[in-house]
Copies of this chain bind each other. A is one copy, B any other.
């Protein structure tokens, strides 16, 4: 109760996995990239769709998509002139869902 929190029997030592976890956190710790990934949770989008939906200008968008691609978080499919992006990494999708629960619903404490 109060503000202190304890989860004594869960012990998330996270140990060896902090490297992997922080890598994912870093990749998503950018407003543009987080918006992109959130959008892709709803299904694949082309670059121009993302550009219009998010209002991120094209080279910036492409650069951040490259970051996500190199982090293996997204995959692409080409259809004629357009390139469609989709989520590939389940961990990223799960993290976004968790963020959604934390930030976009008010404190559903159980």
Contacts known (A12-B96, A25-B34, A34-B25); A6 close to B42, Cβ less than 8 A: yes
Of all chain B residues, the one with the shortest Cβ separation from A3 is B88
Q: Which of B12, B90, B97, B99 contacts A21 (CB 8 A)?
A: B99
Residues of chain B within 8 A of A101, CB atoms compared: 94, 98
Interface-centre pick from A10, A21, A97 (highest chain B CB count, 10 A): A21
What is the count of identical protomers in the complex?
2
Could you tell me the distance between the alpha carbons of A19 and B88 in the complex, rounded to whole angstroms? 24
A35 touches B14 (CB 8 A): yes
* Alpha-carbon distance between A64 and B35 when the two chains are bound, in angstroms: 27
Closest Cβ of chain B: how far from A90's Cβ, in Å?
A: 6
Task: Tell yes or no: A47 within 8 A of B by CB.
Answer: no
- Give me 19 other A-B pairs in contact (C-beta within 8 A), A20-B103, A21-B103, A25-B29 excluded: A3-B88, A4-B75, A5-B93, A6-B41, A7-B42, A7-B93, A12-B41, A12-B96, A12-B100, A14-B38, A14-B96, A18-B31, A22-B29, A25-B99, A91-B103, A95-B98, A95-B99, A98-B99, A98-B101
